[in-house]
């Protein structure tokens, strides 16, 4: 069990996506939430403790007599709060920098930085929400863009549940047939033939695989695409990064130590998040990045899901370009031939040896040429060009994906058993497992299901 | 007047007999009460023992040192192994019993059992002092002091039988009901449920035209229920059963008279079992089925009574005769005993521990149909466990608890004390998660050790069991080393058995795994093979042939055992467990599970509740 409860301490975090809009909300939860807020919040009405619960109060955050931001503070007394603990929410108006500053004050005044999802964890531990709701909420929190949000919300709505339930219903029907035949050997109802079971399994597997196909999409939607920009010095890597950052309206910068250990830039393009890995600080100094040679490129490229390989189109392909291209031959990549506003000297046909033509884009970062095409290519690469509507289901949790994979494995076992003409009993064993695996997603177990099904489907008994 | 015993068993049906025999055989002075001694081990419903999953139970009872298997082996009149095409785990042995002989033989066994007294009479009171049972009182006013009581009242308590609009205050088969104990149990804080079941009519054999029915003969090869019997020793002439069907006319009569059925007119308030539906239930619920199977089974060799399986009913007698006479072969039938529904008091079994002792009363055990189950075998299975545990408690030893991975008995008891039941509980193979391991053929390998440890299995039997076990292991070890080249001898044997010839060397075990082959079929090419008995060869074949599946199931069992090993202390205060939902807390308080695994099987306990519990217990 990984649950750690420190009910004594008070946690705080920025609870809005950073940078989206002007308002940042800092949430504080725990026994000392009011005490901590009192230390830094100044208003005309006096202490937080004297304020009525569930009110919003105007005032200032001050620290060491310095006014940090003009804020609205919501005061919510336990237990009618999200976590069932005392909760303070500070609405800051000053954008990212001042929101971060206010958080810093809160932390210095005695709160602990919340772990991702910890508010929800507390809500769950304090009995406010159940496990499946908690997971969906955590997915919403962790989702970094609209599409991810949509996937998490639709899971809350139970779209995935409905699909999975349908699969389970089909398995249950097969099981009921087999089990009824086993428990009532003399019964004369028409029972399922092996052909019917085989067909049933085949259909099931198709359906589950369809769900699984959305799993990777789900992950990408939720977590973004780990992207790295590589290329030899002076091809325009940092310009591209800066361009993307400027283009993007919602940059999310991780607060060090709060989530992951690697610092990334989250860039949201048309609803797709690129996590551009700051390869030793692309932006820090041109020097560092320009020192990045073939070896380093390889290293960074190793874990990337998408590589922007940049080439200076105004120069002929160099041996170094070729070496870098060679080093990422098997990776998912887009080759960006930069500086296309200048005279083209690079041989595009040679570059085509390294990737499919459609993944090569001629660009000029400086003149804003080709960037739209870059976005199109990304979309086509990861989402097969599909624009997602409201009805799409994404498997966006690793746990659900694992459960589906397990189900497929058991269905494969069933098909093998059928193929080997093993007796019915062996079919039932794996079908039951597949049924349970799918039940992990919907939170249901076998219990009396099978018995109920048998007696509702068949007229049995002495 | 006062008498002194160690153990009192109330009721001498299938549960009571096993309980009394177990306790007395384990050395305790035991007395068993029956409302009528002519009803000892009576079969008031179907005339058979065994069948799917029930046959497994009988073999497990036998492995533990119980009596049911031996008794049916003495008194069967037909035997069949069912499901032989569906996998070894669901092979099911079923025997038609001579009901009268079954009773006589069991009574004889009880009568001749050392340490065991048999008394006719109703028990009307149970005495409890300081939360511990200390005696019972019979209707004749005699007080029987004791240290443990096993309740096995079956369907007798406050029973009433319904024949349409005719309601008779009686126990099964016209026997006297027991009226007093319900009140006493309620006063002891025990929750009483009201269940219902039923039985079909018995028809005079001489009034049946069997030529219009399909005959069903017994198997040529006799497989005994008891591991201590050999088929040759119990061979005898077998009698046949017959199959016929209902038809539209039958259904019409039923539908037209539904208002006279107490089931549909609302007179019955007991809850009936789905798997034992009355014929009117079948016709109403499965209206599109144009016929239902009806089996005609002999009740014994010395009687003309035939049991009409599939036609249990609570319709009035005049409707019964009309509808029975629509069946091919039964046109002129004469009913000797009418079908009836019976309602009775039973307990909510979730008040029991896994040992079948009441949670709130030390020394008070309960078993059988009175626990809300149905079936002779289910009753006997609980009976032997309750008897053993009553005796073990007097010895100050830990109770015998068979878990879900060790036997159907374990599944049965765990189910009824953990999940509770809203209808009479019937054992089914579908209820056993690990049934590939819980086969009827290996019940001895699973449970003889336990039977020996509690003292019900003799040293002699135990030694023979150990020898068998070793022989199986040795032979499996040997054949795992045997392999063949593609010789003419090998391939001609394979071809003879419609099996693909081999091109390269192949292991014997891989050949056994082929669907069309068995250990026995490959005998001729396996030169070093020792002479082994049928049961040993069967084990070798099954264990090798289905090795992959068995191993996977063993992995599942390992997971199961992990959760079972996470114990919950008996004195846990659930109000201290953070984050539990109120209803979860109430359920846990009621069931008081012994382990995390056990808790997870309680209906309505969610994975989140389990997480909270595990966190609280530092697992």
Residue spans of the domains in chain B: they are 2-196+344-445, 202-342, 459-552, 566-616
Please give the pLDDT value at position A129.
62
B435 contact A CB<8A? yes
What does the block give as tokens for A53? 């619960």
Percent of all residues in chain B with a pLDDT value above 90, rounded to a whole number: 86
Contact between A1 and B295 using a beta-carbon 8 Å cutoff: no
Contact A460 B309 (CB under 8 A): no
Task: Report the range of poorest mean pLDDT among A26-30, A239-243, B8-12, B516-520.
Answer: A239-243
- Specify the pLDDT at position B411: 97
pLDDT given for residue A285 in this prediction: 37
> How far does A185 lie from chain B, in Å, by closest CA?
6
Mutate to test the interface with A, among B48, B84, B86 (most CBs of A within 10 A): B86
Q: pLDDT band for A3, please (50, 70, 90 cuts).
A: very low
* Shortest Cα–Cα distance, A123 to chain B (Å): 9
Asked whether residue A19 carries a pLDDT value surpassing 60, the answer given is: no
**CA dist., res. B312 & res. A125, Å (int):** 52
- Are the beta carbons of A426 and B92 separated by less than 8 Å? no
Residue B615 touches chain A, beta carbons under 8 Å: yes
> Across the interface, do B312 and A183 touch by the CB < 8 Å criterion?
no
In the predicted structure, residue A165 carries a pLDDT above the cut 80: yes
User: Under CATH, which architecture does the B459-552 domain have?
Assistant: Orthogonal Bundle (1.10)
pLDDT digits (tens, 9 = 90+) for B451-486: 999 999 999 999 999 999 999 999 999 999 999 999
Does residue A6 surpass a pLDDT of 60? no
**Architecture category of domain B202-342 in CATH:** Beta Barrel (2.40)
Q: List, as one string, the DSSP characters of B459-494.
A: HHHHHHHHHHHHHHHHHHHHHTT-EE-S-HHHHHHH
Considering only residues 63 to 102 of chain B, which have any Cβ-Cβ distance to chain A shorter than 8 Å?
82-83, 85-90, 92
Best of B437, B577, B608, B609 to substitute, by most chain A Cβ atoms within 10 angstroms, is B608
Q: What is the pLDDT of residues B54-88, one digit of tens each?
A: 999 999 999 999 999 999 999 999 999 999 989 99
The answer to whether residue A98 scores a pLDDT higher than 80 is no
CB contact under 8 A, B430 and A185: no
Which residues in chain A touch residue B274, judged by CB atoms under 8 angstroms apart?
455, 461
Q: How far apart are CA B409 and CA B228, in angstroms?
A: 20
Of residues B553, B581, B603, nearest to A429 (C-beta): B553
Q: Which residue has the higher pLDDT, A277 or B566?
A: B566
| B312 interfacial to chain A (CB closer than 8 Å) | yes
The pLDDT value given to residue A459: 66
CB contact under 8 A, B430 and A179: yes
Nearest by CB to B86, which of A127, A182, A450? A182
SS3 letters across chain A: CCCCCCCCCCEEEECCCCCCCCCEEEEEECCCHHHHHHHHEECCCCCHHHCCCCEEEEEEEEECCEEEEEEEEEEECCCCCCCCCCEEEEEECCHHHHHHHHHHHHHHCCCEECCCCHHHHHHHHCCCCCHHHHHHHHHHHHCCCHHHHHHHHHHHHCHHHHHHHHHHHHHHHHHHHHHHHHHCCCCCCCCCCHHHHHHHHHHHHHHHHHHHHHHHHHHHHHHCEEEEEECCCCCCHHHHHHHHHHHCCCCEECCCCCCCCCCEEEEEECCEEEEEECCCCCCCCHHHHHCCCHHHHHHHHHCCCEEEEEEECCCCCCHHHHHHHHHCCCCCEEEEEECCCCCCCCCHHHHCCCCCHHHEEECECCCCECHHHHHHHHHHHHHCCCCCCCCCCCCCCHHHHHHHHHHHHHHHHHHHHHHCCCCHHHHHHHHHHHHHHHHHHHCCCCCCHHHHHHHHHCCCCC
Q: Which residues of B touch A459 (CB under 8 A)?
A: 277, 282, 285-286, 289, 292
Instruction: Find out if CATH 3.40.50.2300 is the number for domain A155-217+396-457.
Output: no
Looking at domain B2-196+344-445, which of 3.90.1280.20, 3.40.50.970, 3.90.550.10, 3.50.50.60 is its CATH number?
3.50.50.60
A341 vs B45 pLDDT, higher one:
B45
Q: Residue B424 has which token pair?
A: 């009479």
- Which of A126, A187, A188 is closest, CB to CB, to B579? A126
CA distance A146 to chain B (A): 29
A224-383 homologous superfamily: P-loop containing nucleotide triphosphate hydrolases (3.40.50.300)
Average pLDDT, stretch A43-50?
81
Please give, rounded to a whole number of angstroms, the shortest distance from the CA of A88 to a CA of chain B. 22
Of the residues A3, A171, A177, A182, the best mutation for testing chain B's interface (the one with the most B CB atoms within 10 Å of its CB) is A182
What's the rounded Cα separation, in Å, for the pair B174 and B152? 19
**What is the pLDDT at residue A84?**
85
Identify the residue with better confidence: B238 or A114.
B238
With an 8 Å Cβ cutoff, are A424 and B546 in contact? no
- The percent of residues above 70 in pLDDT, for chain A, comes to 66
Assess whether the region A155-217+396-457 and the region A224-383 belong to the same CATH fold.
no
pLDDT of residue A444: 63
Query: How does pLDDT run across B277-323, given as a tens digit for each residue?
Result: 889 888 988 888 899 999 999 999 999 999 999 999 989 999 999 99
In this complex, the residue of B309, B549, B614 whose CB is nearest that of residue A1 is: B614
Quote the CA–CA distance of B484 and B506 in Å, as a whole number: 5
Which of A1, A443, A459 has its CB closest to that of B286?
Answer: A459
More confident residue, B572 or A3: B572
User: Which residues from chain A sit within 8 angstroms of residue B549, using beta carbons?
Assistant: 426, 429
Q: Give the pLDDT score at B83.
A: 92
Tens digits of residue pLDDT in A139-163: 555 544 445 545 554 454 466 777 8
pLDDT score recorded for residue A21: 45
d(CA B123, nearest CA chain A) in Å: 32
**Shortest Cα–Cα distance, A5 to chain B (Å):** 9
Is the pLDDT reported for residue B17 higher than 70?
Answer: yes
Q: A interface mutation test: which of B48, B52, B83, B250 has the most A CBs within 10 A?
A: B83
Q: Which residue of B has its CA nearest to A4?
A: B615
User: Which of B82, B275, B310 lies closest to A185 in CB terms?
Assistant: B82
- Beta carbons of A423 and B52 less than 8 Å apart: no
Radius of gyration of chain A (CA): 28
Looking at domain A11-129, which CATH architecture does it have? 2-Layer Sandwich (3.30)
Confidence of residue B251 (pLDDT cuts 50, 70, 90): very high
Pick the CATH number of B566-616 from 3.30.70.100, 3.20.20.70, 1.10.10.10, 1.10.150.570: 1.10.150.570
B44 shares contact with chain A (CB less than 8 Å): no
Q: What's residue B194's pLDDT?
A: 93
Selected for mutation to probe chain B from A175, A185, A460 (highest B CB count within 10 Å) is A185
d(CA B537, CA A236): 77
Q: B614 contacts in A (CB within 8 Å)? A: 1
For B441-453, what is the mean pLDDT?
Answer: 97
Q: What is the mean predicted confidence (pLDDT) over B560-578?
A: 91
Task: Return the residue of B nearest to A123 by Cα.
Answer: B579
In which band, very low, low, confident or very high, does the pLDDT at A262 lie, cut at 50, 70 and 90? very low
Q: Does B252 touch chain A (CB under 8 A)?
A: no
Indicate the pLDDT class of residue A111, thresholds 50, 70 and 90: confident
Position A134 scores a pLDDT of: 59
- For chains A and B, CB pairs below 8 A equal 112
Is B83 within 8 Å of A182 when comparing Cβ atoms? Answer: yes
Q: What confidence score (pLDDT) does residue A80 get?
A: 84
From the CA of A448, how many Å to the nearest CA of chain B?
8
Among the listed residues B265, B254, B251, B250, the one whose alpha carbon sits nearest the alpha carbon of residue B165: B265
Q: Give the pLDDT of residue A391.
A: 40
Higher pLDDT, residue A452 or A336: A336
The residue that leads in pLDDT, A104 or B189, is B189
């Amino acid at each position: 069990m990984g649950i750690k409860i420190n009910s004594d301490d008070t946690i705080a975090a920025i609870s809005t996506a950073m940078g989206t809009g002007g308002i940042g909300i800092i949430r504080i939860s725990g026994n000392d939430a009011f005490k901590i807020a009192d230390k830094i919040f100044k208003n005309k009405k006096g202490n937080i403790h004297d304020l009525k619960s569930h009110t919003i109060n105007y005032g200032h955050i001050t620290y060491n007599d310095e006014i940090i931001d003009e804020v609205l503070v919501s005061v919510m007394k336990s237990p009618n709060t999200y976590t069932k603990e005392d909760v303070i929410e500070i609405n800051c108006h000053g954008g990212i920098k001042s929101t971060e500053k206010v958080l810093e004050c809160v932390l210095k005044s005695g709160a602990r930085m919340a772990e991702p999802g910890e508010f929800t964890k507390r809500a769950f531990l304090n009995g406010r929400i159940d496990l499946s709701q908690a997971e969906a909420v955590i997915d919403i929190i962790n989702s970094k863009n609209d599409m991810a949000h949509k996937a998490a919300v639709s899971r809350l709505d139970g779209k995935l549940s409905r699909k999975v339930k349908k699969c389970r219903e089909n398995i249950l029907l097969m099981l009921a047939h087999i089990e009824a035949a086993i428990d009532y050997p003399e019964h004369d109802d028409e029972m399922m033939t092996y052909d019917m079971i085989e067909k049933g399994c085949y259909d099931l597997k198709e359906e589950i695989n369809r769900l699984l196909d959305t799993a990777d999409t789900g992950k990408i939607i939720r977590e973004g695409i780990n992207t790295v920009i590589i290329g030899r010095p002076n091809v325009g890597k940092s310009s591209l990064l800066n361009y993307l950052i400027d283009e993007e309206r919602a940059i999310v910068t991780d607060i060090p130590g709060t989530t992951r250990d690697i610092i990334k830039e989250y860039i949201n393009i048309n609803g797709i998040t690129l996590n551009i890995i700051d390869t030793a600080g692309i932006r820090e100094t041109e020097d560092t990045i320009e020192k990045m040679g073939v070896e380093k490129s390889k290293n960074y490229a190793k874990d990337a899901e998408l590589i922007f390989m940049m080439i200076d189109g105004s120069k002929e392909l160099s041996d170094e370009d070729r070496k870098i291209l060679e080093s990422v031959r098997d990776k998912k990549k887009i080759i960006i031939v930069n500086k296309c506003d200048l005279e083209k000297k690079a041989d595009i046909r040679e570059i085509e040896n390294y990737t499919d033509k459609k993944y090569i884009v001629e660009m000029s970062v400086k003149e804003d040429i080709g960037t739209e095409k870059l976005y199109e290519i990304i979309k086509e690469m990861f989402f097969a060009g599909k624009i997602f509507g409201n009805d799409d289901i994404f498997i966006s949790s690793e746990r659900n994906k694992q459960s589906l994979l397990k189900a497929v494995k058991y269905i494969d076992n069933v098909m093998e058993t059928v193929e080997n003409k093993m007796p019915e009993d062996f079919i039932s064993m794996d079908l039951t497992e597949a049924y349970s695996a799918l039940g992990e997603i919907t939170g249901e177990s076998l219990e009396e299901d099978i018995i109920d099904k048998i007696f509702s489907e068949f007229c049995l008994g002495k | 007047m006062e008498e002194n015993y160690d153990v009192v068993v109330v009721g001498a049906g299938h549960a009571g007999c096993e309980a009394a025999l177990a306790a007395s055989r384990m050395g305790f002075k035991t007395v068993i009460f029956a409302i009528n001694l002519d009803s000892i081990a009576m079969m008031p419903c179907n005339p058979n023992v065994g069948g799917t999953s029930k046959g497994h139970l009988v073999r497990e009872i036998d492995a533990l040192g119980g009596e049911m298997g031996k008794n049916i082996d003495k008194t069967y009149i037909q035997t069949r192994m069912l499901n032989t095409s569906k996998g070894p785990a669901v092979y099911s042995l079923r025997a038609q019993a001579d009901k009268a002989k079954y009773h006589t033989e069991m009574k004889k066994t009880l009568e001749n059992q050392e340490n065991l007294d048999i008394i006719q009479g109703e028990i009307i009171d149970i005495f409890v002092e300081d939360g511990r049972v200390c005696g019972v009182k019979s209707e004749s006013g005699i007080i029987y002091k004791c240290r443990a009581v096993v309740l096995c009242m079956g369907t007798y308590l406050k029973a009433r039988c319904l024949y349409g609009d005719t309601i008779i205050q009686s126990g099964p088969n016209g026997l006297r009901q027991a009226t007093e104990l319900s009140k006493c149990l309620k006063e002891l804080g025990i929750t009483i449920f009201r269940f219902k079941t039923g039985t079909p009519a018995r028809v005079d054999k001489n009034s049946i035209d069997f030529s219009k029915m399909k005959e069903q003969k017994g198997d040529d090869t006799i497989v005994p229920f008891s591991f201590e019997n050999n088929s040759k020793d119990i061979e005898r002439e077998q009698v046949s059963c017959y199959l016929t069907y209902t038809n539209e006319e039958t259904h019409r009569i039923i539908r037209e008279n539904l208002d006279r059925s107490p089931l549909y007119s609302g007179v019955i308030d007991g809850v009936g079992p789905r798997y034992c539906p009355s014929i009117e239930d079948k016709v109403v619920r499965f209206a599109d089925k144009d016929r239902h199977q009806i089996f005609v089974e002999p009740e014994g060799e010395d009687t003309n009574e035939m049991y009409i399986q599939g036609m249990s009913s609570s319709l009035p007698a005049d409707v019964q005769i009309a509808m029975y006479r629509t069946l091919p072969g039964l046109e002129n039938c004469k009913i000797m005993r009418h079908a009836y529904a019976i309602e009775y008091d039973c307990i909510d079994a979730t008040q029991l521990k896994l040992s079948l002792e009441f949670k709130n009363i030390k020394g008070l055990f309960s078993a059988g149909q009175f626990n809300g189950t149905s079936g002779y075998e289910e009753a006997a299975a609980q009976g032997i466990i309750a008897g053993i545990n009553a005796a073990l408690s007097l010895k100050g030893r830990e109770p015998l608890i068979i878990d879900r991975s060790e036997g159907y008995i374990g599944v049965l008891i765990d189910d009824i004390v953990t999940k509770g039941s809203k209808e009479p509980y019937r054992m089914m193979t579908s209820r056993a998660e690990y049934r590939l391991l819980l086969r009827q053929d290996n019940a001895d390998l699973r449970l003889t050790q336990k039977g020996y440890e509690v003292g019900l299995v003799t040293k002699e039997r135990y030694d023979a069991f150990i020898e068998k076990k070793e022989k199986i292991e040795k032979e499996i070890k040997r054949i795992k080393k045997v392999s063949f080249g593609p010789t003419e001898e090998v391939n001609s044997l394979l071809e003879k058995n419609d099996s693909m010839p081999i091109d390269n060397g192949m292991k014997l075990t891989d050949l056994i795994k082929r669907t069309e082959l068995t250990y026995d079929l490959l005998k001729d090419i396996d030169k070093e093979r020792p002479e082994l008995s049928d049961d040993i060869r069967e084990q070798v074949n099954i264990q090798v042939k289905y090795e992959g599946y068995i191993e996977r199931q063993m992995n599942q069992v390992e997971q199961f055992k992990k959760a079972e090993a996470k114990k919950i202390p008996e004195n846990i205060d659930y109000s201290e467990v953070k984050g539990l939902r109120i209803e979860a807390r109430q359920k846990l308080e009621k069931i008081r599970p012994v382990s995390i695994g056990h808790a997870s099987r309680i209906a309505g306990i969610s994975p989140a509740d389990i997480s909270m519990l595990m966190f609280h217990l530092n697992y």
